[in-house]
Amino acid sequence: MNKLGKYFSLEELTVTHENLDNTPGPVQIQKLKELVKNILDPLREMIDEPIAVNSGFRTLAVNKAIGGAQKPISQHTKGEAADIECFDNAKLFQTIRDHFQFDQLIWEKGNDRQPDWVHVSLKSKGNRNQILKYKNGEYIQL
Ligand SMILES: [Zn+2]
C-alpha cells in the first residue's frame, strides 16, 4: 500500500481495467499527491464516508483504450484528475463546488438528481473553477 495522503493510495489512483501498464512518472505522482492533499483527503473528511476512485491517473494508452478525451488531452493523463463516487454523488459534487478550488468539476451522466460519478481536476496553477454538467448528450457549462 503506497499512500499518497491520509486516505488514498497510489494503487487506488492508478486503477484500470485495461490490460495495460498504468504506471505514472514522478511528475504525475506529484500531481496526484496535490490532488489528494488539496481535494480528496479533505473532501473525504467532510463527507465522512468512503469515496471510491473509478479512475485517476491514466497513461496515454489507457486513456485511448477507454475512449478518454483526446483534444484537449484528458487531465487524467497528467495525474490532475479523478473520477469519484460515494453513497451520494450529488452531495459529493455540491461539497466540492462549495468548498474547494478546482480546475474542472463535472456532473457525469446520470440524471438531474444524481450524477453517475463526479470528475474533478486540479492544476498546480491557473485553476479555472469550471463547472460542467452532462445533459441530453452534451456537456453544458453551469
Ligand atoms: Zn474523468
Domains of the chain: 10-141 (3.30.1380.10)
Q: What's the 54 CA to ligand 1 centre distance in angstroms?
A: 9
- How far CA 5 is from CA of 9, 45, 114, in Å, comes to 7, 12, 28
Q: What is the pTM for the complete model shown?
A: 0.96
Q: What are the grid coordinates assigned to 36, written together?
A: 489528494
Q: What's the 131 CA to ligand 1 centre distance in angstroms?
A: 13
**Per-residue model confidence (pLDDT) at position 142:** 87
pLDDT at 1 over 80: no
Q: What's the 121 CA to ligand 1 centre distance in angstroms?
A: 8
Q: What's the 82 CA to ligand 1 centre distance in angstroms?
A: 6
Q: What's the 78 CA to ligand 1 centre distance in angstroms?
A: 12
